[in-house]
Amino acid sequence: KVSLVKNTVAIGAAMASIGMPFDVVGDVIRDTFGGKGDVAEQNVSAAREGYEYFNQHFKKLDKKPKFNSNKKYLLGGGEAIGLGAVNGGLKMYIGYPMTPASSALHYISSHAKDFNLFVKVPEDEISAINMAIGANYAGLRAMTGSSGGGFSLMVEALGMAGMLEIPLVVYEAQRSGPSTGLPTKTEQGDLNLVLGASQGDFPRIVLAPRNVYDTFLLTREAMNLAEKYQTPVIVMSDLYLAEHLETVDKFDFNFKIDHGLRAQDNAKNFKRYEYTANGISPRAVPGQAGLMHNEDSDEHSETGDVVSDAETDPKLRIAIMEKRMRKLDTYVKEIPPTDTYMLGDADYAIVQWGSTQGVVEEAVDILRSRGIKAGA
């Protein structure tokens, strides 16, 4: 029995170290164990033992926690992916379970009825991404997700979304690799994979949240960016960010959905891939009146006609390729300035991305305390 409650003893000691009143600790434990009466009281007693032992043998920490009445959330990275996607207009999530992306799938599927979502667990990741592409082609905001191994199976379809200029959001939660790697360990080893996934070149947007709050904001923004630029958007996380909890400020759920440039019904001389200055062409979805057109994963002209036969005009290939890539030039102008940390007078700069922000900033503080002017 002692081994079963040793963590609770440690919690009691930890709460004593910061001066937390024990009645608060006891109430939280009872709430956690719900209707398990005897089990709850056993854990309360164990916590009290740890609490009293600390008070008898150790001094409380000098810095006491600050409390305020502002409402906050205790949220995990996977939950933030789900909430952000739903706030961004998600209607369909298709995913094959693979840690650490599974935490998002679990959250979304468990709340599918609450959010009025369709959730599908297909036979593999190839099916998942193709279903998501099909749903987005039909005008429904859909998303898929996996870890590096599953994402590796998705890359051919990712290229198809790029060629067809179909909106798509992919959640890529990194684990240690290669292959199935270390399912329960974190690593940032997939960046080059994501930046170059699929053969050939096409525009893609890669977003890497720094923390749980950032995950919520960037995931909902990804839903808009995918439609606005009609291109794949990959939200990159890792096991650390996907599966740990943070206390975050209350979210502002006021968010404007941007469906991008949509063609008007019965538009004359509609060209699905019309050459435009910013690379973004009017988009039609099945069922719109008077907008019949071709869409093909082979290279095509602005009307959607395939140009990959023996008599291909290289000028057409160059024109449509440059048209697609102009989207990046357009998006670059909208990227906000990069956040920095103590970089103004730094002699040494640390470049970091994603969830390493916190540890890198702490490392900068340590270096500064030793007289080394570092920044990030």
Cβ atoms < 10 Å from Cβ of 353: 14
pLDDT value of position 312: 74
CA distance 153 to 134: 17
Q: What is the pTM of this model?
A: 0.89
pLDDT value of position 39: 87
DSSP-assigned states of every residue in 166-231: --EEEEEEE-B-STT-BTTS-----HHHHHH-SSS----EEE--SSHHHHHHHHHHHHHHHHHHTS
CA distance 91 to 82: 11
**Digit-coded pLDDT (tens) for 133-191:** 999 999 999 999 999 999 999 999 999 999 999 999 999 999 999 999 999 999 999 99
pLDDT value of position 75: 96
Tell me which H or E stretch contains 233. Answer: strand 232-238
Type of residue at 58: F
**CA torsion through residues 118, 119, 121, 127, sign:** positive
74-249 maps to CATH 2.60.40.1080: no
pLDDT value of position 34: 78
Type of residue at 181: G
**Digit-coded pLDDT (tens) for 70-109:** 888 899 999 999 999 999 999 999 999 999 999 999 999 9
DSSP-assigned states of every residue in 115-160: HT-EEE--SSHHHHHHHHHHHHHTT--EEEEE-HHHHHHHHHHHHH
pLDDT value of position 5: 85
- The band of 69, judged by pLDDT with boundaries at 50, 70 and 90, is confident
- Write out the two tokens for 219: 């995931």
**CA torsion through residues 178, 130, 331, 360, sign:** negative
Unique residue bearing structure tokens 């959330």? 73
Helix (H, G, I), strand (E, B) or coil at 56: helix
Tell me the backbone φ, ψ of residue 329, rounded to 5 degrees.
Answer: -60, -35
**Digit-coded pLDDT (tens) for 220-241:** 999 999 999 999 999 999 999 9
Q: What is the mean pLDDT of residues 26-48?
A: 88
Q: What is the mean pLDDT of residues 274-286?
A: 97
Cis peptide before 100 (omega within 30 of 0): yes
Decide: 117 and 90 in contact? Cβ < 8 Å: yes
Mean residue pLDDT across the chain: 94
**Digit-coded pLDDT (tens) for 309-356:** 767 788 899 999 999 999 999 999 999 999 999 999 999 999 999 999
Q: Report domain extents, the chain.
A: 2-57, 74-249, 261-336, 337-376
Q: What is the mean pLDDT of residues 3-24?
A: 91
Q: What is the mean pLDDT of residues 7-27?
A: 93
Decide: 161 and 134 in contact? Cβ < 8 Å: no
Decide: 152 and 193 in contact? Cβ < 8 Å: yes
- 304: buried, middle or exposed (CB in 10 Å: 19+, 13-18, 0-12)? middle
- The band of 64, judged by pLDDT with boundaries at 50, 70 and 90, is confident
pLDDT value of position 176: 94
Q: What is the mean pLDDT of residues 268-272?
A: 95
Type of residue at 22: F
- Write out the two tokens for 196: 């170059």
**15 pLDDT above the threshold of 70:** yes
Portion of the chain with pLDDT greater than 90, in percent:
87
CA distance 143 to 173: 14
Unique residue bearing structure tokens 């706030």? 87
Cis peptide before 178 (omega within 30 of 0): yes
**Digit-coded pLDDT (tens) for 105-148:** 999 999 999 999 999 999 999 999 999 999 999 999 999 999 99
